[in-house]
Amino acid sequence: MNVRKPKGRKDRTTKEAIKIIVEKHSDGYLAYPLGLKGAVVGEGDTYEEAIADVKSAIRFHVESFGKGVLGAESPVLEAFVAEAEVAI
């Protein structure tokens, strides 16, 4: 079945590649994007649920605050995990 868009209407959906960190904890998974302005977090009992939840949270964040939150001026090229001792 072919679905046609009405003439004159443009598809406003674009896709952005966003790096996402996923952490596995004893009680589930936590996911958060890198490079976005603001705090965005997703969670789930499985890796897939956490990814789906953070993608939904990213869409809501962009809808709420605009595409300026995507940080396109300075995209994250790579991400590293580091460990450091901190005096507390």
3-16 pLDDT per residue, tens: 565 565 555 678 88
Tens digit of each residue's pLDDT (9 = 90 or more) over 46-60: 999 999 999 999 999
Tell me, letter by letter, the H, E, C secondary structure of 39-63: CCCEEECCHHHHHHHHHHHHHHHHH
Is 2 within a domain?
no
pLDDT value, residue 57: 97
Which structural domain range is residue 33 located in? 20-69
Q: How confident is the model at residue 43 (pLDDT cuts 50, 70, 90)?
A: very high
Residue 86 in domain? no
Mean pLDDT along residues 55-68 = 95
Q: Is residue 65 part of a domain?
A: yes
Is 80 part of a structural domain of the chain?
no
Are 42 and 51 a contacting pair, CB within 8 Å? yes
CB 47 within 8 A of CB 81: no
Q: What is the number of structural domains in the chain?
A: 1
| Inside any domain, residue 5 | no
